Structure 1
Amino acid sequence: METPDKSVQLKVFVDKKKKKVMLAEADGDFIDILSSFFTLPLGTIARLSEKHATSKEIKVGSLTSLYESVANLNENHFSYGPDKDLLVNPTNPSASFCQKLKVNLDEKNPITPSATGSQGDVVRFNLSSFIITDDLNVVPATLDTSISLINSLGVENINLLEKRIMHFGLEEFSDLLKWSLLTNNPLTNLVFGGGMPCSSCATNSILRNSDLISSNSDKTMTLKSLVQKSNKKLICAQVENPFVELLFSFLTIPLGAAIHLIKDDSSPSGITNLYNSVSLLGDGKYLNSENVKTMLLCPKVSDDFLRVTDLLPVYEVNKRAGHFLKEKVQFIVFNDLEVIGSPSIATFSKFNTLGVPVGDLEVLEVSFGEQEALLLLKASLTSTSALTDFLNVSRKKPKVEPST
């Protein structure tokens, strides 16, 4: 745990019988750091979950495998040496804002000329008190909102709850970020060490495409996918550079931009509730300016990155096209978005490691466009079997054998 001068306090109220955090109280500094989650590129979140979170056995969807693939991929595959380093440590376009916080989750990123951000604090009244629920709804601790919220939580006597003072440093915030992506009770999981059941875990949510933001691009590609015939589970896909460029671009996208594109309120996780709360705080004039609200809820991909795909509406219109990868080669992408080089005997040996007989495999061709790219981005955040979950809501067709 961080020393007090490098941490912020959170006052937590716990129902000991239910082993559940009912609510918490925090000042503006804590809310500032919570809000900074949305400025972090997904690659940074994957790195934090591996290096700083104490619950390292819990993966952040398929981002963890994707991030590790980039770190392990031979530099010869990249068109320019620093490209790999940028993906492993992606630039935060709001780095200047993060460096003003008492706990900076993106401390590996110095301020760059392309970094933008607020010149002041995020919360207008930095000494104000805020109430946070277990599922990360955040409201100002005014008399009317406090009473309404406590009543909605079914808390009849707050004095019967155990009050704990917790110090949050880098590890604690990294854990909270991870649990906020995976569950709708992140504070309870953090306080009680994880493994607490939730009524609607993000990892079990059903992907839907009705809420996705898309420009309806007609550009598509075709994926050759290996599927286990006995259970229709996708094992891997044989892909070329454009698909891998798309996957690698996920790591450059700030969390706020990703949620803006894929937000689904039908099965909210903690991070979705926090996103909605920040939006309401902005509407209620608790943020410094409309620019701060935009920085948090609709952040841009850093200027350090070129536009490597046309299938994600996250780039500025005038963003120059470019590539992470060098020569055109084939790659294998596994169900959890692990990316390896061209197929080899070692690839087939992995099927046996997974307990999949080669005879139980069939090839399916999948048409992949912008809607599918957004669905896969969503699956990467919530599932360790992103390709299978994505395919469950995508159009599939059997491989067509060439005519003779």
Structure 2
Amino acid sequence: MGSKAAHLKVFVDKKKKKVMFAEAEEDFVEILFSFLTLPLGTIARLSSKHEGTKDVKVGSLDSLYRSIENLDNKHFSNEHCKIALVSPNSSSSSLCQKLKVNLNNMKPVEARVSDSPGEVVFFKEKTSFIITDDLNVIPVKLDTSITLLNFLGIEYIDLLEEKNFDFDYDKFSCLLKWSLVTNTPLTNFVFEGTKPCSCFCSCPSCIKTSSTSDIPLISSCPTQRQTVKLLIQKSKKKVLCAQAENFFVEMLFSFLTIPLGNVKRLITDNSSPTGIDNMYNSVSSLGDRKCLKSDEIKNMLLCPKLASNYLRVTDLLPIYEKTINQGNFLKAQANFIVSDDLEVIVSPSLSTITKFNTLGIPVGDIEVMEVCIGEQEALLILKAALTSTSALTDCLYSFKNAKSLI
């Protein structure tokens, strides 16, 4: 039997080489929404394994994930800690097993004769949906469809080219990656990344609403701010690396255990929306309209919890339930070097300086700066990890209480 697949029909403007909108049943949309349940480590794994988008980087997640893969097992507390990071568990895995394509699995799942046909997992009932290029999702209804088509400037649907796709595990992995880096993920998928990210074009306000204020954040315990030393190239105002202790690396590693929906809840920012941001808002809107089975399903998608097997490795992020015990991924280690794109290595400082000299950066152009890391700074780095390959540089001038040591 072949791998399962969900069908998508897209309508393309051939002249513009742009997907105008798509039509899908609830099985496709449920898998789309399940992106929000995936831990960032799973997203990094799917991203790194997808051959068709190797050159597309999801911020600094790829290098952070790769550094964990490369870090010797002797640095971890036990044999299970590394596995828990490179193959993270999902709190929603049991429910997502019912989906036609479950991206939480390590491998594509083969279709089985015993599977229940047509089971609706997230929605109350079987429904057809319109999906815009930037992943706004609305039910197919006469009034909203007319409003949307007018908004998109489409007078005659039959002038658009119709394309049909059966989305399997690999195709959903590809769409997931595009949804994180562009606001035209369907166009990039259909035209294999040949179309650059265009200006943000949201659904009209009469169609899209967002209301997530009723979902409480998990509060973090008050903690003392700790310091990290940054080596900065003064001439380019660029962070070369950070010299960090265990607390900072444990915080970075914890990123990979956080489900995407929870990350979006923590770092809500619509200044540069991507497809995943618009999809997140669509979940909220459909939940408000009572299209989802329950408020529990809505909360699971918009604020998914960490899997129950993860202990509290950092107090810098509000991601743990109050009852979770303290733990750690790493053994005690005197010094880590963290690169600008969040690659983590265990390396003597002098060899790092030698590397900079080899790159033509003289010692006189290197400044050492000390920054305090608290919850606000941790969230800034988390956001940059998803959006930038120079995460530390992007956060540098947002850090408070930074001071030069030389």
After TM superposition, the score normalised by the length of structure 1 is 0.89
Structure 2: distance between partners of 1:165 and 1:354:
49
> Is the CA contact 2:6–2:167 (under 8 Å) kept in the aligned structure 1?
yes
Structure 1: distance between partners of 2:359 and 2:155:
51
Residue in 1 that maps onto 2:8: 10
- Which amino acid counterpart does residue 295 of structure 1 have in structure 2? M
Matches within 5 A, 1:5-404: 6-52=4-50, 54-108=52-106, 121-126=121-126, 128-199=127-198, 217=222, 219-352=224-357, 354-395=359-400, 397-400=402-405
Give the aligned length. Answer: 380
> Is the CA contact 1:219–1:311 (under 8 Å) kept in the aligned structure 2?
no
Structure 2: distance between partners of 1:328 and 1:148:
59
Residue in 2 that maps onto 1:206: none
Structure 1 unmatched runs, 5+: 111-118, 202-210
Structure 1 residue 347: Cα displacement? 2.2
Structure 2: distance between partners of 1:232 and 1:397:
14
Structure 1 residue 395: Cα displacement? 2.4
Residue in 2 that maps onto 1:204: none
CA RMSD, 1 decimal: 2.1
> Is the CA contact 2:340–2:392 (under 8 Å) kept in the aligned structure 1?
yes
Deviates more, 1:189-198 or 1:240-249: 189-198
Deviates more, 1:246-255 or 1:324-333: 324-333
Once the two structures are superposed, residues 184-239 of structure 1 have per-residue CA deviations (whole angstroms, 9 ceiling, x without a partner) of 111111111114222358xxxxxxxxx9x776945211111001110101110000
- Which amino acid counterpart does residue 25 of structure 1 have in structure 2? E
SS in 2 for 1:6: coil
Once the two structures are superposed, residues 129-167 of structure 1 have per-residue CA deviations (whole angstroms, 9 ceiling, x without a partner) of 100000000000111111111111111211111000011
> Is the CA contact 2:223–2:315 (under 8 Å) kept in the aligned structure 1?
no
SS in 1 for 2:369: strand
SS in 2 for 1:367: strand
CA 288–384 in structure 1, closer or farther in 2 if over 3 Å, else same: same
Structure 1 residue 52: Cα displacement? 3.1
Structure 1: distance between partners of 2:378 and 2:240:
18
Structure 1: distance between partners of 2:251 and 2:160:
48
Once the two structures are superposed, residues 17-72 of structure 1 have per-residue CA deviations (whole angstroms, 9 ceiling, x without a partner) of 11110000000000010011011000000000111352111111100000001110
Structure 1 residue 369: Cα displacement? 0.7
CA 355–280 in structure 1, closer or farther in 2 if over 3 Å, else same: farther
CA 183–47 in structure 1, closer or farther in 2 if over 3 Å, else same: same
CA 14–219 in structure 1, closer or farther in 2 if over 3 Å, else same: same
- Which runs of 4 or more aligned residues in structure 1 lie more than 2 Å from their structure 2 counterparts after TM superposition? 213-219, 342-359, 395-401
SS in 1 for 2:311: coil
Structure 1 residue 7: Cα displacement? 1.0
CA 309–378 in structure 1, closer or farther in 2 if over 3 Å, else same: same
Structure 1 residue 99: Cα displacement? 1.1
> Is the CA contact 2:261–2:301 (under 8 Å) kept in the aligned structure 1?
yes
Structure 1 residue 305: Cα displacement? 0.6
> Is the CA contact 2:368–2:405 (under 8 Å) kept in the aligned structure 1?
no
CA 355–338 in structure 1, closer or farther in 2 if over 3 Å, else same: farther
SS in 2 for 1:38: helix
Structure 1 residue 120: Cα displacement? 5.8
SS in 2 for 1:332: strand
CA 360–388 in structure 1, closer or farther in 2 if over 3 Å, else same: same
> Is the CA contact 1:91–1:109 (under 8 Å) kept in the aligned structure 2?
no
> Is the CA contact 2:33–2:301 (under 8 Å) kept in the aligned structure 1?
yes
Once the two structures are superposed, residues 98-135 of structure 1 have per-residue CA deviations (whole angstroms, 9 ceiling, x without a partner) of 2111111111299xxxxxxxx96112222x11000000
- Which amino acid counterpart does residue 77 of structure 1 have in structure 2? H
- Which amino acid counterpart does residue 44 of structure 1 have in structure 2? T
SS in 2 for 1:226: strand
Structure 1 residue 328: Cα displacement? 3.2
> Is the CA contact 1:92–1:109 (under 8 Å) kept in the aligned structure 2?
no
Structure 1 residue 394: Cα displacement? 1.8
Residue in 2 that maps onto 1:115: none
SS in 1 for 2:394: helix
Once the two structures are superposed, residues 269-289 of structure 1 have per-residue CA deviations (whole angstroms, 9 ceiling, x without a partner) of 110000000111111111111
